[in-house]
Amino acid sequence: MNLHEYQSKEILSKYGVAIQRGIVANNVDEAVAAAEKLTADTGAQAWVVKAQIHAGGRGKGGGVKFSPNMDKLKENANNILGMQLVTPQTSAEGKKVHSVLIAEDVYYPGESETKEFYVSVLLDRAQGKNMIVYSTEGGMDIEHVAEVTPHLIHNEVVDPAVGLQGFQARKIAFNLGLEGTAFKEFVKFITSLYNAYVGIDASLFEINPVLKTSDNKIIAVDAKVSLDDNALFRHKDLAELRDKREEDPTDVEAGDAGLNFVKLDGNVACMVNGAGLAMATMDIIKLSGGNPANFLDVGGTADAQRVETAFNIILKDPNVKAILINIFGGIVRCDRVAQGVIDAYNSIGNIPVPLIVRLQGTNAEIAKKMIDDSGLNVHSAITLEEAANKVKEVLGA
Ligand code: GDP
Ligand code: MN
C-alpha cells in the first residue's frame, strides 16, 4: 500500500523528522485558507501547490507550482485540482488530481546556498537487511543519476537487529559534504527517518529531495512511502489512509473479495487455490503454447461467490481466449467446487470463452461427472496433462 506525500510527511513529523510544512486542500477556497494559515503559523512568504497523486515526477508534469502571491496560488490550485496529471511514472492517460498540498516555500534565499539530496530507506531482500541509499544528486530523477553516474549513489547497509548506528549516520552526513549545523541536523534527520521506516513497517521510505535550506536546516521536501501490506494488521491507523481512487479498480475489487490477483498480458486466464499451484498452473499454460493472462489464487474456500467474482474480473480482459480452473480439493471437496463453478457460470449467464476445469483430490470423480453432465461449455480434466491438452485444443495450438 502506498501513501500520499502529505500523509507520509505527517508520519515523518510524528517521528521528529523536520519537514516542509503544508496543509492539504480539496478545492481553491481550502487552498487559500491553507496558505493563510501556513503564513500565520510559519511566516511563509510564498507557497508551492503540489498535486497529491501516487506517482513521482509530478514537478516535471506540471503538478508542482511555485506561488509567490495569493493570486498565483489561486491560479495554480485551480489549474492543478482536477487535472489529469501525466508524469514519467504514470500511464499515458495520467492520474486525476483530487487534492493538493499547499506547502511553505523552503527555497528562500539566505546566508548559504540551498542544496538538494536524495535519501531513501528500503528493505534489501537479498541481504535480509535494511539499506539507506543516498546521493548528493537529489531533486532530479534518481533513475537517471543511477544510469549515467552510478558512482554518485551510495549505500549503507543497516542490520535490523542493531539498528542505525551513530557512526553510520555521521558517515552519511560526511559523504554528503555537510558540516557544522547542517551536519548535526542531518544526523538527527537520518536517525529519525530510520526510526519512522521501522516504526510503520515500511518497505520503502524515500525522500527526494532532502533539502539543506539557506539557513542550514535539513528538511524533507517530498516523501514517498510504501507500506508492507502483510504488516498492516498491526497498523489500523495507517490502513485507514488507503486511497482506493489511486489504485487499479480491478485490484481493489479482487482485494475486497479476498482474491490474490495479479494481471498479466497473456491469453489464458487461470483460477487456482494456493499460490504454489497457481505458479505451476501458469507453467502448464506456457507448456501448452499459451501465455498466462493472470495469477489468481482464490484461497482455501473456492465457493460460488468467490468463483463468480473471479470470473467477472477475468472476463474484463479482452485478451482472454480460455480459462483454466485448477483446484486441488483437500478440505474443500471437489464436488463443492464443481457446484460453485456451475452456479457461478449459470449466474453470469454466458461465458464467451471455453472453460477447462481440472479438479483433483477428494471426490474428484464425482466432480468431473457433475461438470460433464452440466451441459455447459466446460471441459473437465483430472490430470494436469489432460488439462494442458485441453488448453492446447481450445487454443487450436
Ligand atoms: P516530484 O516532482 O513528484 O518528485 O515532487 P517534489 O515534491 O520532489 O517537488 C518537485 C520539485 O519542486 C523539487 O525538486 C523542487 O525543485 C521544487 N520545489 C518543491 N518545494 C519547493 C519550494 O518550497 N519552493 C520552490 N521554489 N521549489 C520547490
Ligand atoms: Mn520528489
pLDDT digits 0-9 by tens, 213-268: 999 999 999 999 999 999 999 999 999 999 999 988 888 999 888 899 999 999 99
Are 68 and 102 contacting, i.e. CB atoms less than 8 angstroms apart?
Answer: no
Distance CA 328, CA 277 (A): 8
CA of 221 to the centre of ligand 1 (A): 7
**Comparing 337 with 44, which gets the higher pLDDT?**
44
Number of domains in the chain: 3
Are 80 and 52 contacting, i.e. CB atoms less than 8 angstroms apart?
Answer: no
Q: Is the CB of 58 under 6 A from ligand 1?
A: yes
- How much is the average pLDDT of 167-192? 98
Say what the pLDDT of residue 302 is: 67
Q: Is the CB of 295 under 6 A from ligand 1?
A: no
Residue 377 binned pLDDT confidence (cut-offs 50, 70, 90): confident
Last residue of a domain, one of 224, 244, 264: 244
CA of 310 to the centre of ligand 2 (A): 37
Examine the domain organization and report whether 33 and 99 are in the same domain: yes
Nearest-atom number in ligand 1 for the CA of 5 is 7
Residue 10 has pLDDT above 60, yes or no: yes
Last residue of a domain, one of 217, 244, 271: 244
- How much is the average pLDDT of 132-149? 92
Examine the domain organization and report whether 71 and 114 are in the same domain: no
Q: Among residues 201, 198, 218, which one has the least CA distance to residue 209?
A: 218
Q: Phi, psi (5° rounding) for residue 95?
A: -130, 140
Looking at 40-54, 196-210, 274-288, 381-395, which range is the least confident one? 381-395
- How much is the average pLDDT of 113-137? 97
Residue 333 has pLDDT above 90, yes or no: no
Parallel/antiparallel/unpaired status of strands 355-361 and 322-329: parallel
Residue 105 has pLDDT above 90, yes or no: yes
Last residue of a domain, one of 105, 125, 145: 105
Are 390 and 290 contacting, i.e. CB atoms less than 8 angstroms apart?
Answer: no
Distance CA 117, CA 243 (A): 28
Q: Which residues are catalytic?
A: 118, 206
Residue 336 binned pLDDT confidence (cut-offs 50, 70, 90): confident
Say what the pLDDT of residue 196 is: 98
**Comparing 75 with 394, which gets the higher pLDDT?**
75
Residue 114 binned pLDDT confidence (cut-offs 50, 70, 90): very high
Examine the domain organization and report whether 237 and 260 are in the same domain: no
Parallel/antiparallel/unpaired status of strands 224-227 and 378-381: unpaired
Examine the domain organization and report whether 11 and 144 are in the same domain: yes
Q: What is the CATH number of the domain that holds 351?
A: 3.40.50.261
- Tens-place pLDDT, residues 267-288: 999 999 889 999 999 999 999 9
CA of 26 to the centre of ligand 2 (A): 21
Tell me the three-class secondary structure of the chain, residue by residue: CECCHHHHHHHHHHCCCCECCEEEECCHHHHHHHHHHHHHHHCCCCEEEEECCCCCCCCCCCCEEEECCHHHHHHHHHHHCCCEECCCCCCCCCEECCCEEEEECCCCCCCCCCEEEEEEEEEECCCCEEEEEEECCCCCCHHHHHHHCHHHEEEEEECCCCCCCHHHHHHHHHHCCCCHHHHHHHHHHHHHHHHHHHHCCEEEEEEEEEEECCCCCEEECCCEEEECHHHHHHCHHHHCCCCHHHCCHHHHHHHHCCCEEEECCCCEEEEECCHHHHHHHHHHHHHCCCCECEEEECCCCCCHHHHHHHHHHHHCCCCCCEEEEEEEECCCCHHHHHHHHHHHHHHHCCCCCCEEEEEEECCHHHHHHHHHHCCCCEEEECCHHHHHHHHHHHHCC
Output the nine-digit C-alpha cell for 162.
Answer: 542493531
Examine the domain organization and report whether 225 and 339 are in the same domain: no
Q: Which ligand is nearest to the CA of 47?
A: 1
Residue 303 binned pLDDT confidence (cut-offs 50, 70, 90): confident
- How much is the average pLDDT of 13-17? 98
Return the residue whose CA atom lies nearest to atom 6 of ligand 1.
Answer: 222
Q: Among residues 302, 303, 119, which one has the least CA distance to residue 222?
A: 119
Mean pLDDT across the chain, nearest whole number?
94
Q: What is the CATH number of the domain that holds 96?
A: 3.30.1490.20
Examine the domain organization and report whether 339 and 268 are in the same domain: yes
One-letter amino acid for residue 271 of the chain: M
Q: Is the CB of 56 under 6 A from ligand 1?
A: yes
Q: Which domain holds residue 279?
A: 248-395
Q: Is the CB of 266 under 6 A from ligand 1?
A: no
Parallel/antiparallel/unpaired status of strands 268-272 and 322-329: parallel
Examine the domain organization and report whether 13 and 55 are in the same domain: no
For the whole model, what pTM was predicted? 0.84
- How much is the average pLDDT of 368-393? 88
Q: Which ligand is nearest to the CA of 51?
A: 1
Q: Among residues 282, 333, 348, which one has the least CA distance to residue 303?
A: 333
313, with CB counted inside 10 A (0-12, 13-18, 19+), is: buried
Examine the domain organization and report whether 231 and 379 are in the same domain: no
Give the whole-number percent of the chain exceeding pLDDT 90: 78
Distance CA 324, CA 371 (A): 14
Residue 397 binned pLDDT confidence (cut-offs 50, 70, 90): low
The residues that bridge with 269 in the sheet, in sequence order, are 323
